[in-house]
A and B are shown apart, each in its own frame.
Chain A
Amino acid sequence: MVNPVLFIVVPLGLAFAIPLLKYISKKIIRFVPALAFLFNLIFALRLIPVVMDHQVHVQIGGFIPPLGINLVAGPVGMLFVVLIALVGFLVSIYAFHPIKEKDEDRYHILYMLQLTGATGVVLTGDIFNLFVFFEILCLASYSLVAYLGNRAGIESAVKYLIQGSLGSGLILIGIGLLYGQFGTLNMADIAGRIHSVQSISVYVPLVLFITGFGVEAALFPLNAWLPDAHSSAPSTISAVLSGIAIEVGLYAVLRVVFTLFGITHMMGLFLLLGVLTLLIGELCAFSQDNIKRMLAFSSIGQIGLLVFAFSLASTLGIAGGFFQLISHTLGKALLFLAAGYMIAHTGSMEIASFQGMGKRMPFTSLAFTIGAFSMVGLPPFMGFPGKFMILKAALHDGQMLTLILLVFILIATVIEGAYFFRVVQVLYFAGEDLPDRERAPVAFSRFVPMFLFTGLIIVLGIYPSLITDLLDASALELLDRPDFIKSIIP
């Protein structure tokens, strides 16, 4: 059994080894991120059967909780670690072919730091440590959005930075308030004592946390930065931002709401917020001509759906939410990579410029189509079981509010279908009369990740039962608070 701390240490160490490795060979640094995340992927997969049985705790420096910083590798944490490592590995294969000729080393360092931060957020059991890793993730994201150095990138990075650091400041105030009341930073310890104080002094930090993490999670009124940042970043980074960063923000919100505060009686608010985010995202996506902006808005919509699923606060709903989360991560990463490859070929982000791509880049178009179908929720792709599980959970919940909101979710899915089919239609059926241009050249580093993402989407779409055990265990970890607390603070 591998020590979970290595999932953080190995990418972090290798990230800072890159400036040294650069002096040995400039080519070697391209393979470092892939190596690090392959390591994480293999050992995280091997650790999963262990954490299904019992949570793995690591006490950093040997201090017993609640004194020291501890890592908690439960089903939820490991689910995210595997997802981050998988996406990190596949996207870093895509980057074997340099994104930009200059400053390649900086790209790889920041990329690894970003995913290290994400891994740290999902593994830590200490609220301040969570903040620190969250800041590593955010800082690396700000810089990567500006990596191309063009007008759009810099402007989006400034917006992202201002909103993101405002959110981080609020989180820090919330941490200060919690520490002032409980004298501890350990999440399980705080969770165990949260009901011992007046509710008003708990709600203030709760609101601060939800606002702060909500900026990164792109909850509705806080997501103005997302379409700009996701559309002006390099395509690989858009894939990671959409597939990992906002999900990790959502994880932080879930951890705070379910585990730390144990608030389950105001879920109606979150249900509404989720559906509102979903509708706004899908409606804005529908009116876009720029493909990357369309995908970015679609991410907002998907986050809304996830918030809805998690707010059902039932085993079925949370398991469905996690399934849809995995489906969104794989699907959106695939879509951004495929779109990025087509953009690199046509030099334009306008959807109209992709006419006839079905002939010129048949494989990429096919990958994009599969990703789009999976996003919409067509069988046999992964989006179908995800949406189906959420639907089932909502019907099982049976409250009037949930059922009314369900109607809006179905409407949003129709809108989603409309704009994705429009792109697919442009890819295959528009511009028949264009002169036959030759096929695009084949780059294997670009095809391998797209192929693997496509394969995973189909396999998990046909056999969702491969991961349902893990999802059920994850849902249980979030819902069974006393057990979580007792396992850390006996």
Chain B
Amino acid sequence: MNFLSEYTYYIGAFSLIIIGLYIILVKKNLMKVIIGFSIFDTGIYLFLIAVGYLREGTAPVFSKPGLDAGKMVDPVPQALVLTAIVIGVAVLALAVILAIKIYAHYGTLNLRKIKEQRW
């Protein structure tokens, strides 16, 4: 059980990543694929946060006396995640716009039916 409690966040993060990957690779509906991307991205954010997380850690404020530097949560992954979320939102927004356009052109969101372009 010690293993589980120590690595809960990693297990959760990678489960989300795997679920997201599964949805992206298997589902036919473009909207579901986009939802899969959202889950996949969330898993990655959780993983990045978990890398820098410290149980019962404090915020890294050095100006406050009495705080131990060893007990501070690493702020860098959080900054990374903020950036990654912004990028992820942009990608999702573009994906949804393209989904609307796809529906306007083809009248369907089924990716198996949209294959005019082929090798």
**Contact status A149-B77, CB under 8 Å:** no
Interface membership of B73, Cβ < 8 A: no
Given contacts A161-B94, A166-B24, contact A151 B77 (CB under 8 A): no
Shortest beta-carbon distance, B99 to chain A, in Å?
Answer: 8
A139 to B52, CA, bound (A): 28
* Chain A interface size, under 10 / 10 to 19 / 20 to 34 / 35 or more: 35 or more
Shortest beta-carbon distance, B53 to chain A, in Å?
Answer: 11
Which residue of B has the minimal Cβ distance to A158? B98
Shortest beta-carbon distance, B17 to chain A, in Å?
Answer: 7
Number of A-B contacts (CB under 8 A): 94
Q: Is the interface of B mostly helix, strand, loop or mixed?
A: helix
Q: Is the interface of A mostly helix, strand, loop or mixed?
A: helix
**Contact status B51-A179, CB under 8 Å:** yes
Interface string of A263-284 (1 = CB under 8 A from B): 0000000000000000000001
**Contact status B77-A161, CB under 8 Å:** no
A158 to B104, CA, bound (A): 14
A139 to B119, CA, bound (A): 24
A residues less than 8 Å from B91 (CB atoms) = 135, 139, 161, 165, 168
Interface membership of B72, Cβ < 8 A: no
- Chain B: interface residue total (CB-CB under 8 A): 36
A residues less than 8 Å from B99 (CB atoms) = 158
Interface membership of B101, Cβ < 8 A: yes
Which residue of B has the minimal Cβ distance to A229? B117
A residues less than 8 Å from B52 (CB atoms) = 179
Given contacts A155-B114, A161-B91, contact A149 B101 (CB under 8 A): yes
B residues less than 8 Å from A156 (CB atoms) = 117
Interface membership of A405, Cβ < 8 A: no
Interface membership of A227, Cβ < 8 A: yes
B residues less than 8 Å from A227 (CB atoms) = 117, 119
7 sample A-B contacts, Cβ–Cβ < 8 Å, listed by A number: A154-B105, A155-B115, A158-B99, A176-B77, A179-B52, A179-B80, A284-B119
Known: A151-B106, A165-B37. 4 other contacts (CB 8 A): A151-B116, A168-B87, A183-B74, A185-B76
User: Which positions in A face B, CB cutoff 8 Å?
Assistant: 128, 132, 135, 139, 142-143, 146, 149-152, 154-159, 161-162, 165-166, 168-169, 172-173, 175-176, 179-180, 183, 185, 227-228, 231-232, 284
